[in-house]
Structure 1
Amino acid sequence: MNQLDALKQFTTVVADTGDFHQLAQFRPQDATTNPSLILKAVQKSEYAPLLQDTVQQWRGRDLGEIMDRLLVRFGCEILSLIPGRVSTEVDARLSFDTSATITRAERIIELYQAQGVHIDRVLIKIAATWEGIEAARQLEQRGIHTNLTLLFSFAQAVACGQAKVQLISPFVGRIYDWYKKQAGSSWDEAAMAGTNDPGVQSVRAIYNHYKHFGIPTEVMGASFRNVGQITALAGCDLLTIAPDLLAQLAATEAPLQRQLDPDSARALDLPPVNYDEAGFRYALNADAMATEKLAEGIRAFAADAIKLEQLMLAA
């Protein structure tokens, strides 16, 4: 059995791509997209017609609406190839506006429903700012499920659990990137691999907290830099993996052991943690890595949304 098949025994495998032609090969349960992945996809010749067609059909409408229609178009194509859910992102420029995030999320869901897609097959991706988490809390109460992304800290995860969001995406690779950059020439790759990887440790702490306290929010490790980070999180609820790393797992026959387990987490001695807004903001501020990576991630997704708009204007 290859490692991808072994991983699927105890973790839901999710494809992290806007390139839906690659999906059938790996048979993932779910798929996630973001503005950067969609931007990358529409610049490929096989996907350019999707952009052209969407823009021509809705020319004259608000650019934000056309973008949402394009994202939903990709989402529908992906859903035709997978049995589970697709994650579709709210414009990152709304990351600090609760009401605008809710409005945009509701429109995305309406667009999916107009295509005959059931609400339970879509997760609305929102940046895990305080405002984003509050928007997700209200959306979940309305039956719209959410995926809180750009999550780098334990504080963000705790607040998401309190908000009863459906799923969180802690970013393993970007946490690893930050610590590696901080360490500079003193970084020891071998010593910081596997269970010692700071990104892996972050997800493990979140997973253990959720399972210990019976928090139903799903944990989906994201943004992997190497296969070792994935195998060290085997047993996590879900892992969203880029096609090149899926291919590496599929090509490897080495044994794969479960690393995260709900029964083990329940047996741990862990203190309860809760945050109000002030406590959340202070805890996030105290975490330099999470503060920097959250801001950087929002800027990057916003920049790609602007590039996508420029492509739409030129189409």
Structure 2
Amino acid sequence: MKFFIDTANLNEIREAFDLGVLDGVTTNPSLMAKEGIKGDANVRAHYKAICDIVDNNVSAEVIATDFEGMIKEGKELAKIDDKIVVKIPMIKEGIKAIKYFSSEGIRTNCTLVFSPGQAILAAKAGASYLSPFVGRLDDISQDGLEFIAQVRVIYDNYGFGTEILAASVRHTMHLIKCAEIGADVVTCPLNVITGLLNHPLTDSGLAKFLADHKKANA
């Protein structure tokens, strides 16, 4: 399973990368705004700064919702760095754009996906990644994890090459369950990844080892 971090904060990205388990980054306009990044030139420069930290897979989202606009923005984003994956919304014009970018060898991440039908369309159009939003489905009393499992079965049935990138992953159990049901990638905040480190028996065991060592070498 690949671990992506969902942020535009460079310090968090560096920390995740230094941990040695980071495979990529996902961002969106909201995350950019949270970091105070405004204006097209500054946003693109920030994407480049992210690409300079990580080894691959930096999802950069288009703002346009029409086909021509998405193609124009997507090409500009793809020029920033070979690591860029163009993030396209799950709408009719977005599916057309994904098909176009697929034919041009430009990787895409189809985002805001909430149904199996949408997942099928994205895969048939040639999306590199599909982003189903687990937490947002949970928010409206639908089972986000069950949705991931449905998409896994469908993709395996037909040999689709699109990778399932579980998004809106909010806690460690979300991440672990996504791993169990076969998501190819999870994207989440840094604290969800580092939360995997924690277990009370690890803490108590280490404390005992250190105490025994101190006693033996007093």
Provide the TM-score with structure 1 as the length reference.
0.59
Q: Does 1:122 align with 2:84?
A: yes
Asked if the contact 1:88–1:124 (Cα under 8 Å) also holds between the matched residues in 2, the reply is yes
Matches within 5 A, 1:40-119: 40-42=34-36, 51=37, 66-67=39-40, 69-91=41-63, 94-95=64-65, 97-110=66-79, 112=80, 117-118=81-82
Asked if the contact 1:79–1:86 (Cα under 8 Å) also holds between the matched residues in 2, the reply is yes
Q: Does 1:167 align with 2:162?
A: no
- Give the match for residue 2 of structure 2: 12
Q: Does 1:229 align with 2:198?
A: no
Correspondence for 2:32 among 32, 38, 49: 38
Q: Does 1:250 align with 2:197?
A: yes
Q: Which consecutive unaligned segments of at least 5 residues does structure 1 have?
A: 1-10, 43-50, 56-65, 181-197, 255-315
Distance across 1 between alignment mates of 2:141 and 2:43: 33
Task: Give the deviation of 1:178 after TM superposition.
Answer: 1.1
Distance across 1 between alignment mates of 2:112 and 2:42: 22
- Give the match for residue 257 of structure 1: none
Higher relative CO (CA 8 A, sep ≥ 6), structure 1 or 2? Answer: 1
Task: Give the deviation of 1:84 after TM superposition.
Answer: 1.4
- Give the match for residue 62 of structure 1: none
Distance across 1 between alignment mates of 2:104 and 2:56: 21
- Deviation sequence 1:97-125 (CA, Å, 0-9, x none): 11211111112223x0xxxx22xx11111
**Letter aligned with residue 10 of structure 2:** F
Task: Give the deviation of 1:253 after TM superposition.
Answer: 7.8
Distance across 1 between alignment mates of 2:2 and 2:174: 16
Structure number with the higher strand fraction is 2
Asked if the contact 1:71–1:88 (Cα under 8 Å) also holds between the matched residues in 2, the reply is no
Provide the TM-score with structure 2 as the length reference.
0.84
Asked if the contact 2:169–2:186 (Cα under 8 Å) also holds between the matched residues in 1, the reply is no
Correspondence for 1:26 among 16, 35, 39: 16
Task: Give the deviation of 1:24 after TM superposition.
Answer: 2.7
* Cα distance change, pair 20–250 in 1 and its aligned pair in 2 (3 A): farther
* Cα distance change, pair 76–209 in 1 and its aligned pair in 2 (3 A): same
Q: Please state whether the residue corresponding to 1:137 is helix, strand or coil.
A: helix
- Give the match for residue 291 of structure 1: none
Query: What count of residue pairs does the alignment treat as equivalent?
Result: 195
**Letter aligned with residue 201 of structure 1:** E
**Letter aligned with residue 99 of structure 1:** E
Q: Please state whether the residue corresponding to 1:168 is helix, strand or coil.
A: strand
Runs of 4+ in 1 over 4 A off after TM superposition: none
- Considering only aligned residues, what root-mean-square deviation do their CA atoms show, in Å? 1.7
Distance across 2 between alignment mates of 1:253 and 1:204: 30
**Letter aligned with residue 13 of structure 1:** F
Matches within 5 A, 1:212-291: 212-234=157-179, 235-252=182-199
